[in-house]
Chains A and B, each alone.
Chain A
């Protein structure tokens, strides 16, 4: 395994970061497109304020600029793994609903699920490059789907998509921070940011 600072590792990191950034951008625009359709199809109010949904990783971060590279990767990875499970759940629920319009939403969800998986893979690769162990997924089994009414499930879906759109923006920024040439091993916070 290449040492974290070797030129080839640095190149691979930059490559993974720039691909990840592009993927995050595509993910975001696809999620936003889906949000418009989802809101309309589910008969929801677009301005509905959804309280923090249980089990959905919040993109909000305090002291984001002070995070270390590995911290960013681990938080992102945990989030996208959770989204992978949540979207799979939504897809399952979507399949139970009938109708042509639902099929389109189902296809869009499946496409985003693929992107989320791909992004999680990028993050795992970046973690390996940092000579960091990739946390296993065994302990983090998704919680059993809560027993919710149809309307509650729709609102939950809205919350999932909204939060994913936020994460896509955050992840692009996280990867740009990572792609910056860092002095030392990257374990120390970047001195460029002034609080």
Chain B
């Protein structure tokens, strides 16, 4: 009959051919392929310093009759190393979840057992269907100073290992990042960008447990971020954007009072509003057109200069006037 055999990487394995005597004539196969006699000691199969590639089905047949006498599935693996465990509450005050993984694979099946103790109370962590290595707990008590102690034990056929996490209720609170971040230019405002977002949908009660936010933004061409912390509201207007530059913007969230900041939201890109040129003309055509249109050189909007190509309008005239007056005044001074 067939069964499974687990062995450590590097171990020496001896397989007996069922109840056959040591001196019986047998043939061993590995995944259907005959094994050379040099690996045999009598009817025993000797595998030295096994590695992962030697996992497979091993069968032993009686010499002449080719009756199958023994079959086993060899699985080479390792005992579990200390697992990595983390617990977090992204849906405070409903509860928290713990998730875990092994730092290195064992190559054989593992089972996980998690225990959660709060003071004298043992709590049940309900395993999630997906993802697999995760369980969640509903808070029975809130605002407790008593710490939670979570112990995860990993066991497989070759050994076991465990790790323990101790924390208090407030420390593990970390919301999910804000959702639906939108950044838009503001018409007629070349230095502004309007950003809005929503509370993460996993946060159950933003009214009683309000979130505060952290916004960061920078033009794509620079490395340094600007930061703004916002204690309420889910929108903000950036007023110091560089004109015409594309920006990258992200938002993070945190409970107003406790816990840590969320990861950054998905990044959004936006470019502030820029004035549309009246004609999309080439250099050659500019010299042919008459004065009424703007030139292809666009002066920065805040500093209207008085030049030949300037738009004739009351504002520009006033500036020209002012400049003229200043020049005249200087002229007077130097007479």
Report A's interface with B, CB cutoff 8 A: 25, 28, 49, 58-62, 64-65, 162-163, 166-167, 169-170, 172-173, 176-177, 180, 192-193
- Residues of A near B210 (CB, < 8 A) are 176
Residue of A58, A64, A169, A180 near B257 (CB, 8 A) is A169
Task: Determine if A173 and B208 form an interchain contact, defined as CB atoms under 8 angstroms apart.
Answer: yes
A59-B144, A166-B143 known; 18 other A-B pairs, CB under 8 Å?
Answer: A58-B144, A59-B143, A60-B141, A60-B144, A60-B145, A61-B141, A64-B142, A162-B145, A163-B145, A169-B170, A169-B257, A170-B142, A172-B257, A173-B209, A176-B208, A176-B209, A177-B208, A193-B205
Can you spell out 7 A-B residue pairs with CB atoms less than 8 angstroms apart? A25-B257, A59-B144, A61-B142, A61-B143, A64-B142, A163-B145, A166-B145
- Expressed in whole angstroms, the minimum distance between the Cβ of B137 and any Cβ of chain A is 14
- Residues of A near B223 (CB, < 8 A) are none
- Expressed in whole angstroms, the minimum distance between the Cβ of B192 and any Cβ of chain A is 31
**A64-B93, A65-B93, A180-B207 in contact; A169/B258 too (CB < 8 A)?**
yes
- Expressed in whole angstroms, the minimum distance between the Cβ of A11 and any Cβ of chain B is 18
Total A-B Cβ pairs within 8 A: 47
Name the residue on B nearest A172 (C-beta). B257
Interface size on B, residues (CB 8 A): 17
Task: Determine if A169 and B143 form an interchain contact, defined as CB atoms under 8 angstroms apart.
Answer: yes
**A173-B208, A176-B207, A193-B205 in contact; A49/B141 too (CB < 8 A)?**
no
Indicate if B140 sits at the interface (CB-CB under 8 A). yes
Name the residue on B nearest A56 (C-beta). B145
| Chain B positions 197 through 209: 1 when the CB is less than 8 Å from some CB of chain A, otherwise 0 | 0000000010111
- Residues of B near A60 (CB, < 8 A) are 141-146
Task: Determine if B141 and A62 form an interchain contact, defined as CB atoms under 8 angstroms apart.
Answer: yes
Which of A169, A180, A192 counts the most chain B CB atoms within 10 A? A169
- Residues of A near B144 (CB, < 8 A) are 58-60, 166
Indicate if B191 sits at the interface (CB-CB under 8 A). no
Which of B147, B209, B257 counts the most chain A CB atoms within 10 A? B257
Name the residue on A nearest B139 (C-beta). A64
- Residues of B near A192 (CB, < 8 A) are 205
**A62-B140, A62-B141 in contact; A49/B205 too (CB < 8 A)?**
no
- Residues of A near B207 (CB, < 8 A) are 176, 180
CA distance A49 to B166 in the complex (A): 12
Shortest 8 CB-CB distances between A and B: which pairs? A60-B144, A59-B143, A170-B143, A176-B208, A64-B142, A60-B141, A166-B143, A62-B141
- Residues of A near B142 (CB, < 8 A) are 60-61, 64, 170
| Chain B positions 208 through 241: 1 when the CB is less than 8 Å from some CB of chain A, otherwise 0 | 1110000000000000000000000000000000
- Residues of B near A167 (CB, < 8 A) are 143
CA distance A58 to B257 in the complex (A): 19
**A64-B142, A176-B208, A177-B208 in contact; A49/B93 too (CB < 8 A)?**
no
CA distance A192 to B141 in the complex (A): 19
| Chain B positions 138 through 166: 1 when the CB is less than 8 Å from some CB of chain A, otherwise 0 | 00111111110000000000000000000
CA distance A173 to B255 in the complex (A): 12
CA distance A172 to B209 in the complex (A): 9
- Residues of A near B145 (CB, < 8 A) are 58-60, 162-163, 166
- Residues of B near A172 (CB, < 8 A) are 257
**A25-B257, A64-B93 in contact; A180/B143 too (CB < 8 A)?**
no
Name the residue on A nearest B138 (C-beta). A195
- Expressed in whole angstroms, the minimum distance between the Cβ of B147 and any Cβ of chain A is 7
